[in-house]
Amino acid sequence: MTRLQHFGWFLARGFGPHGWGYPSLDWDYDWTKPGLYQQSARTLEQAGFDLVIIEDAPSLGSPETIDLRIRHAFGGPKHDPLLLAPYLFDATEHLGVIPTVNPAAYVPYTAARQFATLQHLSGDRLGLNVVTDTGSARHFGTAAPLGHDAAYDRAEEWLESLRLLWRSWSPEALVVDPVSGVYADGTRLDHAAHRGEYFAFDGPLNAVPFREGEPVIASPGGSGRGLGFAGANSDIQLALAPLDRDSITAYRAKIHAAAVERGRRPEDITILFAIQPALVSSAAEADRLVAASANPDEAALVQIARKQSSDLETDLTALDLDAPIPAGTFANHVSEGSIRRLIGRNDAATTPLRQILAAHARLGRLTDGSGFVGTADEFADRIEELGEWGNDGVLLWGDLHPVTVHRVLDELVPILRRRGILRREYAPGGLRANLAAF
Ligand SMILES: Cc1cc2nc3c(=O)[nH]c(=O)nc-3n(C[C@H](O)[C@H](O)[C@H](O)COP(=O)(O)O)c2cc1C
């Protein structure tokens, strides 16, 4: 049965040089100024989207590989998405805005106060995409970076701290009675003292309580510990999985089990599956595009190698394309998961790099599950099908350049609306209320 789903946009390359490497650069937007993002945010709101999530990494990565990240702007520079959020709120009325934050970068009191301020300023539309990347540790002190699971432990303590501070004002503490002249009752504030493994502070918070609930928490981790974190804390899980019934059902079951294990209900988490759409105008064009990508030329391989070099902080462009990647190429800190994603189903010891890169350059058809090239009708079919399998929503993945946003949405939105999959109206009460509306 057709049902409404939630729609989000994932600004996948963060608040960085938009359009770099694409012909749309010549539309002359300035990526450091808010206009580009405000225009796109208004379009997303007109389209009935619940939210936009802004990817981020606070660091340019390890000192030896900074050039790999910034040379083609795949991994930086990136400005702070938290500070872009107010401009997006100002340009819209209903759209939720979810900047990515790393608990390493903010002590709990500062975080709780800044996020409370934004939640009030935005009319309850703030969310936080909480990530645990430890590669930026050196910018925040001289302590050694935490391990994978310990970083999640710290993130949990950080969120507990934020909640302790946000709840340090009981709702009755705010009196606001002009007749008696009493603004607030200090006896109803909790001192919110915390002495934990990673953080120690005293409250209460110097901010008034929320009207429509706390900022929404999102998280993208897919490891056992990452799912446990989501089960305990997240209102939204950003999910990456093949879009077939078994994968979707299994992923949802894992998150739901994690929620139940931590004393929450499955329906407390909205799961959004990421889709990186390549929309074309006809099935014949989709087939042509996929066929044309089957034998990628040298330029296409170099482009893939540059992007992977940035993500993996390892210069793949300096390696012999016709030999396997030599053992020991990747430094210890490079994520195992990212290396696995590069190699795919190939045998790393015997497969030439050319073949590994070519697999990434090849496009696939949405209709047979091999990729994301399809028409608007085909995308609507697939999203409708996801809904039939119980899915909550999707996260369309791209930059936030108006050219990209229109290319993806212009045909798709009317079809989704006609089919009753995409909302026509927003609920009052901000992001949390809109997530709970269906
Ligand atoms: C849809 C999606 C969005 C993500 N966004 C970010 C991000 O903005 N910043 C970041 O540092 N990591 C981001 N990640 C990576 C995760 O934070 C995390 O590092 C990765 O999923 C590995 O965590 P795990 O070991 O728990 O799976 C994202 C992952 C996914 C799937």
Within-domain flag for 15: yes
By three-state DSSP, how is residue 169 classified?
strand
**144-185 residue pLDDT tens:** 999 999 999 999 999 999 999 999 999 999 999 999 999 999
- pTM of this structure: 0.96
**Per-residue confidence at 55, pLDDT binned at 50, 70, 90?**
very high
- Cβ–ligand 1 distance for 56 under 6 Å, the answer yes
Based on the number of CB atoms within 10 Å of its own CB, is 364 exposed (0-12), middle (13-18) or buried (19 or more)?
A: middle
Same domain, 184 and 49: yes
Domain assignment of residue 352, yes or no: yes
Residue 284 lies in a domain: no
- 6 annotated ligand binder: no
Ligand 1 test: best mutation among 11, 56, 100, 131, most atoms within 8 Å of CB? Answer: 131
**Å from CA of 408 to ligand 1 middle:** 23
Overall average pLDDT of the 302-322 stretch: 93
Predicted local confidence at residue 33, as pLDDT: 96
Atom of ligand 1 nearest to the CA of 238: 1
Average pLDDT over residues 213-242: 96
Give, using CA atoms, the residue closest to atom 9 of ligand 1.
Answer: 56
**pLDDT score at 1:** 67
Candidates 119, 38, 435; CA nearest to 268 is 435
pLDDT for 23 equals 80
Q: Reduce the DSSP state of residue 179 to 3 states and report it.
A: coil
Task: Check whether residue 39 and residue 187 sit in a common domain.
Answer: yes
Percent of the chain predicted with pLDDT > 70: 100
What pLDDT does residue 425 have? 95
Strands (E), 81-224: 96-101, 127-130, 174-177, 182-184, 194-195, 200-201, 216-219
Q: What is the pLDDT of residue 133?
A: 87
From 133, 139, 240, mutation site for ligand 1 pocket: most ligand atoms within 8 A of C-beta: 133
Q: What is the DSSP letter of 365?
A: B
Enclosing domain of residue 321: 295-361
Q: How far apart are CA 21 and CA 28, in angstroms?
A: 13
Output the CA 221–ligand 1 centroid distance in Å. Answer: 5
Select the more confidently predicted residue: 166 or 331. Answer: 166
Q: Is residue 289 part of a domain?
A: no
Number of folded domains in the chain?
A: 2
Q: Report the run of H or E that residue 197 belongs to, with start and end.
A: none
- Whether the per-residue pLDDT at 124 is higher than 90: the answer is yes
73 and 16 Cβ atoms separated by less than 8 Å: yes
The answer to whether the CB of 274 is under 6 A from ligand 1 is: yes
